[in-house]
Structure 1
Amino acid sequence: MAITDRRTATLALAHALSAAERGLPVIPLTARKLPALPSPHRNDDRRSTCRGACGLPGHGVHDATTDPAAVQALFAAAPWATGYGIACGRPPHHLIGIDLDVDTTGNSDSAASLRQLALHHLFAIPPTVVVLTPSGGRHIWLTGPPGVPVPNSASRLAPGIDIRGIGGYLVGPGSVTLHGRYRIAPGTADLPPAPCPRALLRLLMPPARRPARTDRSDRGRGLIRFVLTAHEGERNARLFWAACRAYEHGNGDALADALTHAAVRTGLTAHEARATIASAARLTTAAPDEPWGQPGGSRP
């Protein structure tokens, strides 16, 4: 389907300028819904690090602008553009896109999944802009509070529900793609994007990261593995080193039996293992002015 004609390109620019007038930052898109301008760094190592600071176009969503002259310049540089993208997460609207995909297999219903989420978490989608996609899906436009960067996600909320947030973009209504045209849903053209319900906003934010596990149990397992991998001739030295580390970390007494058992499995006797662990305990717990607690000291 030949859609890169002059009329299509002119209409894409007109729709993009109209969106920019409403405060929505835009970029030109190809019929494949990709940024139309190639990266100026495609042949150098700055391709993945430059975010437009070089002043040249071709940085995808980072080119998005509401300035009419800049919009016209972007489309003039990409006469093959058939649509436009609207950058999400940018002021003044801080747009959040709820992308409800259509599952052609019939195994899931993203709209029904969103209704279930709304019922379970006690929120309602307010009247807002809705864009119908050529595949039968829809984009629900919401706004977020400043300083709350909603991340992009794919099917994290539920199968078929994708989120467009900071660094992402939505295909704008009026755009023509390989699969058809994006259109404003009847009755929503004159609505402003509505604020995202607080309960839904909480769902859109990434879960808090758990700190890396560095607890005593992890350290203890590592020390026991270190002892278990000892070969003949190094068994006592490995046990002594591991026991020293355990007492330095404050869990020597708790690990003493496990270290003894591990050492016995490598060939030491239980008496030898306990004596080595006791020596490690004396070394690491002695006061600094005691000879046994100093490097090179000797046992009294």
Structure 2
Amino acid sequence: MATTDRQATTLALAHALSAAERGLAVLPLSRTKLPALRSPHRDDPTPTPCHGQCGRPGHGVHDASRDPARIRELFAAAPWATGYGIACGLPPHHLIGIDLDTKSGTDSSAALRELALRHLFTIPPTVVVLTPSGGRHLWLTGPPDLVVPNSASRLAPGIDIRGAGGYLVGPGSRTGHGVYRTAPGTSHIVPAPCPRALLRLLLPPPRAPYSTPPAAGDHGRGLVQFVLAAHEGQRNTRLFWAACRAYEDGIGPALVDALVEAALDSGLTEREARATIASAARMTGRGG
């Protein structure tokens, strides 16, 4: 590794530890802005969804930590890392990132101003990170009882949202295009609360209530409720258990859509939910 790369890794670790002191969970990134550690399950013949329950690093944003010892371990495992990511949506800040891009050919800053005028909100003074391409990341905080999802250009062209399950490239990170830097005068500002009017725009529209197929009966409704009651760290496990019971009882195919809807409500993505249910079908010999 070149001296400059070692220096970049040392600086990235120092910045990451400083961010952790401010209550932000971090993970090492490569020059491509992607998590520096590869998945430990990449060679598994039939990988199942894992968010770090296996205890090994390499689970992307799920590796993020505020523990200095853990952060040092992650960077030691990825000596090629030249940056760090900051996980969004986690306590205590429940960070929301407003990514104003410059690559889309649109003026994303003007689009945000237009939204602010139309919906009567003002972006308060907050942390602003300048990207090497000329874009800006605005750091805001959300309430603990709301989950803001990631989105790309849904709010307006060129405006991406980093929410739960996403991360922001931390200031001080070096990528192939340059260094991310905090805008002058904002480095020591505490991230400001997201205006309520803007927060309403960031939340997905409510889905129609799920319905358990009549063929599934009370047992099926109980399995769906079991998934709905899952907390963070339990979601995949509960969904897998419920799906196994459903397939064992012969109601698996009829209950798939209701289980997926319940998993989405609990915080999983549709891809994760369907992969977990498919694993349960294979485990119980109902995978076809």
TM-score of the aligned structures, taking structure 2 as reference length: 0.70
How far 1:211 sits from its partner (Å)? 6.0
Gaps of 5+ in 1: 214-300
Q: What CA deviation, in whole Å up to 9, does each residue of 1:103-135 have, x standing for no partner?
A: 364xx1000000000000000000000000000
- Aligned residue number for residue 215 of structure 2: none
Q: Is the CA contact 1:4–1:80 (under 8 Å) kept in the aligned structure 2?
A: no
Asked which structure has the greater CA Rg, the reply is 1
Q: 1:47 to 1:172 in 2, by over 3 A?
A: farther
Structure 1 residues 181 and 202 mapped into 2: Cα distance closer, same or farther (>3 Å)? Answer: same
Q: Alpha-carbon deviation of 1:5?
A: 1.6
Q: What is the CA–CA distance in structure 2 between the aligned matches of 1:73 and 1:41, rounded to whole Å?
A: 19
What residue is the counterpart of 1:268 in the other structure? none
Q: Which amino acid aligns with 2:161?
A: I
Match of 1:202 among 200, 210, 214: 200
125, 128, 137: which one pairs with 1:127?
125
**2:88 equivalent to 1:88:** yes
- CA–CA distance in structure 2, aligned partners of residues 38 and 154 of structure 1: 24
For residues 146 and 68 of structure 1, what CA distance do their matches in structure 2 show?
A: 24
Q: Which residue of 2 aligns with 1:73?
A: 73
2:156 to 155, 158, 161: 158
Q: Which residue of 2 aligns with 1:190?
A: 188
1:39 touches 1:47 (CA, 8 Å); kept in 2? no
Aligned-pair identity (%): 74
Cα distance change of structure 1 residues 156 and 117 upon mapping to structure 2, 3 Å threshold: same
Alignment CA distance shift 1:182-1:41 (3 Å): same
In angstroms, what is the RMSD of aligned CA positions? 1.7
Deviations 1:61-80 (A, max 9, x none): 00000000000000000000
Aligned to 2:145: 147
Deviation per CA, 1:182-241, whole angstroms, max 9, x where unpaired?
A: 00001101100000000000000001224699xxxxxxxxxxxxxxxxxxxxxxxxxxxx
The question of whether the paired residues in 2 share the 8 Å contact of 1:143 and 1:193 is answered with: yes
The answer to whether the Cα contact below 8 Å between 1:27 and 1:85 also exists between their aligned partners in 2 is yes
Instruction: Tell me the amino acid that sits aligned with residue 55 of structure 1.
Output: G
Cα deviation digits, residues 262-289 of structure 1 (max 9, x gap): xxxxxxxxxxxxxxxxxxxxxxxxxxxx
Equivalent position SS for 1:157: strand
Q: What is the alpha-carbon distance in structure 1 between the residues aligned to residue 182 and residue 153 of structure 2?
A: 23
- Is 1:22 the counterpart of 2:22 in the alignment? yes
Separation of aligned partners in 1, 2:45 and 2:8: 35
- Matched residue count: 210
Q: Partners of 1:180 and 1:46 in 2: how far apart?
A: 38
Report if the CA contact (8 A) 1:174-1:181 is conserved.
yes
Q: Following the alignment from structure 1 to structure 2, what is the Cα–Cα distance between the partners of residues 92 and 47?
A: 32
- Report 1:32-111 matches (<5 A): 32-44=32-44, 47=47, 49-103=49-103, 105=105, 108-111=106-109
User: Secondary structure of the equivalent of 1:98?
Assistant: strand
Describe the SS at the equivalent of 2:155. Answer: coil
The letter for the 2-side match of 1:16 is: A
> Matches of 1:92 and 1:112 in 2, distance apart?
31
Measure, in 2, the Cα distance between the counterparts of 1:184 and 1:46: 42
The separation in 2 between residues aligned to 1:186 and 1:128, in whole angstroms, is 11
> Are the counterparts in 2 of residues 144 and 196 from structure 1 also a CA contact under 8 Å?
yes
